[in-house]
Amino acid sequence: MEDILKIEHLYKHFGDISVLEDIHFSVKKGETVVLIGPSGCGKSTLLRCINGLEDIQDGRITLEGCAINPVDKKDLKIRQQIGMVFQNYDLFPHKTVLENVMLAPVKVQKRNRSEVEQEAGELLERVGLTSKKDCYPRQLSGGQKQRAAIVRTLILQPKVLLFDEVTAALDPEMVREVLDVMLDLSAQKRTMLIVTHEMAFARAVADRVLFLDEGSIVEDSTPGEFFANPVTERARRFLKTFEFEKQR
């Protein structure tokens, strides 16, 4: 498979603090890549750089050969080819679920309204939100909001999907419904980059795992390999924090 997304020698710093150092990897079409690592290691910042929400200091990010960061100001439409789902859903509170989903395709992509509405209906049905399509975000549970936010991103038919700790703000029993949607997307061979702290999920969904620490990629391997035999001491210690032993 060809590489669709390329991150080349990316450097990012906030003031004097270096957040990402020489990040260099590429993602193949249809691949699901999971980024894991301790808090503050730069995973979320990396996703935000790929989505163009953060400036980068050096290096470049390209999608099918087109520069997306640094981006040509006249070519902001390239952003729609990269969809991002955020931790706090960030639905538009003054619009219903259906309106949230339809706003960008109708207003930005200028697609035909009835065609968009039909597609929105199909996608909402796929994530089990048909009965909620006329509700406002505040009437929904966290899991429903996050599924709606995923649909809002999907309808733009992005070539790459970014998920930034999308279950971190959810109650445990709602995590599953969101992860199931993502497993479904992965099975459809969508190209996805996922930041998560759900290790069991990471193992199930990933084609490839990147372990980040202090702004660098420390390990790049398959989930089977990474979770069974992490190469670095740092990764071993990190994985250990998810294990519990009874104190005697």
Partner 1 sequence: MGFEVLLKGKNMIRLLMGLGVALKLSILSVVISILAGLVTGMLASFKKSVFYIVFRVHLEIVRIMPQLVLLFIVYFGFSKAAGWNLTAEAAAILVFSFWGTAEMADLVRSALVSIPASQYESSRSLGFNSLQTYLYVILPQVGRRLVPLSINLITRMIKTTSLVMMIGIVEVLKTGQQIIEANRYQSPNAAFGVFAVIFLLYFAACYPVSRLSKYLEKKWEN
Residues at the interface with partner 1 (CB under 8 A): 51-53, 76-77, 79-80, 82-84, 86, 88, 90-94, 103-104, 107-109, 136, 138-139, 149, 152-153, 156
Q: Which is nearer to partner 1, 12 or 152 (CB)?
A: 152
To partner 1, the closest distance from the beta carbon of 166 in angstroms equals 13
To partner 1, the closest distance from the beta carbon of 75 in angstroms equals 11
To partner 1, the closest distance from the beta carbon of 90 in angstroms equals 4
Q: Which is nearer to partner 1, 153 or 191 (CB)?
A: 153
Q: Give the residue among 30, 32, 31, 56 at the shortest CA–CA distance from 42.
A: 56
CB 235 within 8 A of CB 209: no
- Give the whole-angstrom CA distance, residue 131 versus residue 124: 9
Q: Which is nearer to partner 1, 90 or 180 (CB)?
A: 90
To partner 1, the closest distance from the beta carbon of 27 in angstroms equals 18
Phi, psi of 15 (to 5 degrees): 60, -125
Number of CB atoms found within 10 A of residue 30's CB:
15
> Which distant-in-sequence residues (6+ apart) come within 8 Å of 38 by Cβ?
213, 238
To partner 1, the closest distance from the beta carbon of 91 in angstroms equals 8
Beta bridge partners of 7: 25, 61
Q: Which is nearer to partner 1, 20 or 156 (CB)?
A: 156
Phi, psi of 180 (to 5 degrees): -60, -40
Q: Which is nearer to partner 1, 136 or 214 (CB)?
A: 136
